[in-house]
Amino acid sequence: MDALKKIYQKHGFELVVVPNKEAALLASMSFIQPHMRIGLGGSQSVKEIGLYDYVTSRKDLTLFNQYEAGISMEENIHRRRQGLLCDVYLCGTNALTKDGILVNADGSGNRVAAQIFGPKKVLIIAGINKLVENVEEGFKRIREVASPKNIERMNATAISLGKEPRYSMSNIGKKFTYISADEEGRTTIILVEESLGY
Protein backbone atom coordinates (compact mmCIF):
# COMPACT_ATOMS: atom_id res chain seq x y z
CA MET A 1 0.00 0.00 0.00
CA ASP A 2 2.97 2.35 0.46
CA ALA A 3 3.57 2.34 -3.29
CA LEU A 4 -0.09 3.17 -3.92
CA LYS A 5 0.09 6.05 -1.44
CA LYS A 6 3.07 7.47 -3.33
CA ILE A 7 1.24 7.21 -6.63
CA TYR A 8 -1.75 9.10 -5.26
CA GLN A 9 0.53 11.66 -3.63
CA LYS A 10 2.06 12.41 -7.04
CA HIS A 11 -1.47 13.22 -8.25
CA GLY A 12 -2.07 15.61 -5.35
CA PHE A 13 -4.26 13.21 -3.38
CA GLU A 14 -3.65 12.05 0.18
CA LEU A 15 -4.36 8.33 0.51
CA VAL A 16 -4.94 7.03 4.04
CA VAL A 17 -5.21 3.24 4.30
CA VAL A 18 -7.06 1.77 7.28
CA PRO A 19 -7.89 -1.85 8.13
CA ASN A 20 -11.62 -1.63 8.88
CA LYS A 21 -14.78 0.50 9.20
CA GLU A 22 -14.06 1.45 12.80
CA ALA A 23 -10.64 2.82 11.90
CA ALA A 24 -12.16 4.60 8.90
CA LEU A 25 -14.65 6.39 11.14
CA LEU A 26 -11.93 7.46 13.58
CA ALA A 27 -9.77 8.75 10.74
CA SER A 28 -12.74 10.61 9.22
CA MET A 29 -13.71 12.23 12.51
CA SER A 30 -10.32 13.93 12.69
CA PHE A 31 -11.31 16.09 9.70
CA ILE A 32 -14.58 17.32 11.28
CA GLN A 33 -14.12 20.34 13.55
CA PRO A 34 -16.74 22.40 15.44
CA HIS A 35 -18.60 25.07 13.44
CA MET A 36 -17.66 23.62 10.07
CA ARG A 37 -20.02 23.63 7.09
CA ILE A 38 -20.38 20.04 5.87
CA GLY A 39 -21.64 18.87 2.47
CA LEU A 40 -22.77 15.36 1.58
CA GLY A 41 -22.62 13.37 -1.63
CA GLY A 42 -24.57 10.17 -2.10
CA SER A 43 -22.49 7.39 -0.55
CA GLN A 44 -23.29 4.05 0.99
CA SER A 45 -19.67 3.87 2.16
CA VAL A 46 -20.06 7.05 4.24
CA LYS A 47 -23.12 5.46 5.86
CA GLU A 48 -21.54 2.05 6.37
CA ILE A 49 -18.60 3.36 8.41
CA GLY A 50 -20.97 5.40 10.60
CA LEU A 51 -19.84 8.81 9.34
CA TYR A 52 -23.33 9.88 8.21
CA ASP A 53 -24.76 9.14 11.66
CA TYR A 54 -21.83 10.94 13.26
CA VAL A 55 -22.26 14.22 11.36
CA THR A 56 -26.06 14.20 11.64
CA SER A 57 -25.75 13.80 15.43
CA ARG A 58 -23.38 16.77 15.82
CA LYS A 59 -25.17 19.96 16.85
CA ASP A 60 -22.11 22.17 16.39
CA LEU A 61 -21.96 21.71 12.60
CA THR A 62 -23.84 23.30 9.72
CA LEU A 63 -24.82 20.22 7.73
CA PHE A 64 -26.32 20.53 4.27
CA ASN A 65 -28.21 17.25 4.43
CA GLN A 66 -30.28 16.68 1.29
CA TYR A 67 -31.25 13.25 2.67
CA GLU A 68 -33.26 14.63 5.58
CA ALA A 69 -36.74 13.10 5.50
CA GLY A 70 -39.65 15.37 4.63
CA ILE A 71 -37.82 18.20 2.90
CA SER A 72 -39.10 19.51 -0.44
CA MET A 73 -37.26 18.98 -3.72
CA GLU A 74 -36.58 22.72 -3.78
CA GLU A 75 -34.89 22.49 -0.38
CA ASN A 76 -33.05 19.33 -1.47
CA ILE A 77 -31.52 21.14 -4.45
CA HIS A 78 -30.72 24.19 -2.31
CA ARG A 79 -28.79 22.00 0.14
CA ARG A 80 -26.90 20.30 -2.68
CA ARG A 81 -25.83 23.70 -3.98
CA GLN A 82 -24.82 24.91 -0.51
CA GLY A 83 -22.76 21.76 -0.10
CA LEU A 84 -20.53 22.92 -2.94
CA LEU A 85 -19.42 25.89 -0.80
CA CYS A 86 -18.64 23.97 2.38
CA ASP A 87 -15.53 23.40 4.46
CA VAL A 88 -15.59 19.60 4.09
CA TYR A 89 -17.49 17.53 1.54
CA LEU A 90 -18.08 13.85 2.43
CA CYS A 91 -18.59 11.33 -0.34
CA GLY A 92 -17.57 8.03 -1.88
CA THR A 93 -16.18 7.13 -5.27
CA ASN A 94 -17.28 4.55 -7.80
CA ALA A 95 -13.71 3.48 -8.51
CA LEU A 96 -10.13 4.45 -7.87
CA THR A 97 -7.36 3.16 -10.08
CA LYS A 98 -3.99 1.71 -9.26
CA ASP A 99 -2.42 4.54 -11.25
CA GLY A 100 -4.00 7.30 -9.16
CA ILE A 101 -7.28 8.32 -10.82
CA LEU A 102 -10.82 8.68 -9.44
CA VAL A 103 -13.63 7.41 -11.70
CA ASN A 104 -17.28 8.33 -11.11
CA ALA A 105 -20.77 8.52 -12.54
CA ASP A 106 -23.48 10.73 -11.09
CA GLY A 107 -27.14 11.44 -11.74
CA SER A 108 -27.55 15.09 -10.76
CA GLY A 109 -23.84 15.86 -10.76
CA ASN A 110 -23.41 17.50 -7.35
CA ARG A 111 -21.05 14.79 -6.07
CA VAL A 112 -18.70 14.87 -9.06
CA ALA A 113 -18.88 18.68 -9.17
CA ALA A 114 -17.73 18.84 -5.54
CA GLN A 115 -14.89 16.43 -6.20
CA ILE A 116 -13.68 18.69 -9.00
CA PHE A 117 -14.09 22.16 -7.48
CA GLY A 118 -15.87 24.07 -4.73
CA PRO A 119 -15.50 22.64 -1.22
CA LYS A 120 -12.30 23.55 0.61
CA LYS A 121 -11.75 19.90 1.53
CA VAL A 122 -13.05 16.67 -0.01
CA LEU A 123 -13.04 13.51 2.09
CA ILE A 124 -13.65 10.34 0.08
CA ILE A 125 -14.45 7.01 1.73
CA ALA A 126 -13.76 3.91 -0.37
CA GLY A 127 -13.66 0.19 0.26
CA ILE A 128 -10.94 -1.99 -1.23
CA ASN A 129 -13.57 -3.35 -3.64
CA LYS A 130 -13.43 0.00 -5.48
CA LEU A 131 -9.75 -0.39 -6.41
CA VAL A 132 -9.33 -1.22 -10.12
CA GLU A 133 -6.48 -1.41 -12.61
CA ASN A 134 -7.24 1.61 -14.79
CA VAL A 135 -9.87 4.10 -16.02
CA GLU A 136 -11.41 1.58 -18.43
CA GLU A 137 -11.89 -0.90 -15.58
CA GLY A 138 -13.35 1.92 -13.51
CA PHE A 139 -16.06 2.67 -16.06
CA LYS A 140 -16.68 -1.06 -16.49
CA ARG A 141 -17.18 -1.32 -12.73
CA ILE A 142 -19.71 1.53 -12.88
CA ARG A 143 -21.68 -0.20 -15.66
CA GLU A 144 -21.57 -3.73 -14.28
CA VAL A 145 -21.48 -3.33 -10.49
CA ALA A 146 -22.23 0.12 -9.08
CA SER A 147 -25.06 1.22 -11.37
CA PRO A 148 -27.17 -1.97 -11.21
CA LYS A 149 -26.90 -2.11 -7.40
CA ASN A 150 -27.78 1.57 -7.01
CA ILE A 151 -30.73 1.24 -9.38
CA GLU A 152 -32.06 -1.66 -7.34
CA ARG A 153 -31.55 0.21 -4.06
CA MET A 154 -33.15 3.48 -5.18
CA ASN A 155 -36.12 1.82 -6.88
CA ALA A 156 -36.75 -0.25 -3.75
CA THR A 157 -36.72 2.97 -1.71
CA ALA A 158 -39.16 4.63 -4.11
CA ILE A 159 -41.54 1.65 -3.90
CA SER A 160 -41.36 1.68 -0.10
CA LEU A 161 -42.47 5.33 -0.20
CA GLY A 162 -45.41 4.50 -2.46
CA LYS A 163 -43.78 5.94 -5.58
CA GLU A 164 -43.16 4.47 -9.01
CA PRO A 165 -39.67 3.08 -9.56
CA ARG A 166 -37.95 5.50 -11.92
CA TYR A 167 -34.25 4.72 -11.97
CA SER A 168 -32.52 3.01 -14.88
CA MET A 169 -29.15 2.93 -16.63
CA SER A 170 -30.28 5.93 -18.69
CA ASN A 171 -30.72 8.30 -15.75
CA ILE A 172 -28.63 7.05 -12.85
CA GLY A 173 -25.31 7.99 -14.42
CA LYS A 174 -25.74 10.96 -16.71
CA LYS A 175 -22.48 12.66 -15.77
CA PHE A 176 -19.21 10.75 -15.92
CA THR A 177 -15.82 11.94 -14.69
CA TYR A 178 -12.30 10.83 -14.16
CA ILE A 179 -10.08 13.02 -12.02
CA SER A 180 -6.37 12.52 -12.49
CA ALA A 181 -5.13 15.19 -10.06
CA ASP A 182 -6.12 17.81 -7.51
CA GLU A 183 -4.37 20.65 -5.73
CA GLU A 184 -2.24 19.16 -2.98
CA GLY A 185 -4.01 18.79 0.37
CA ARG A 186 -7.55 19.32 -0.91
CA THR A 187 -8.65 15.70 -1.38
CA THR A 188 -8.09 12.90 1.13
CA ILE A 189 -9.14 9.35 0.29
CA ILE A 190 -9.65 6.95 3.16
CA LEU A 191 -9.18 3.50 1.65
CA VAL A 192 -10.63 0.76 3.86
CA GLU A 193 -9.24 -2.76 3.57
CA GLU A 194 -12.80 -4.14 3.58
CA SER A 195 -15.58 -4.08 1.00
CA LEU A 196 -17.83 -1.04 1.31
CA GLY A 197 -20.75 0.30 -0.70
CA TYR A 198 -21.38 -0.43 -4.34
The pLDDT assigned to 172 comes to 75
Residue 152 has pLDDT above 90, yes or no: no
Predicted confidence at residue 164, as pLDDT, reads: 77
pLDDT in tens, 167-193: 776 677 789 999 999 999 999 999 999
Domain enclosing residue 74, as ranges: 2-192
Q: How far apart are CA 125 and CA 49, in angstroms?
A: 9
Using pLDDT thresholds of 50, 70 and 90, give the confidence band for residue 155.
low
The residues pairing with 125 across neighbouring beta strands, listed in sequence order, are 92, 190
Residue 12 counted as domain residue? yes
Q: How many domains does the chain have?
A: 1
% residues pLDDT > 70 (the chain)? 94
Q: How many CA atoms lie within 13 A of 2 on its CB side?
A: 0
Q: For position 71, what pLDDT does the model report?
A: 94
Report the CATH number at residue 150.
3.40.50.10420
pLDDT of residue 150: 77
Q: Which helix (H) or strand (E) holds 48?
A: helix 44-48
For residue 61, the one-letter residue type is L
Report the distance separating Cα 84 and Cα 142, nearest Å: 24
**Cα distance between residue 102 and residue 33, in whole Å:** 26
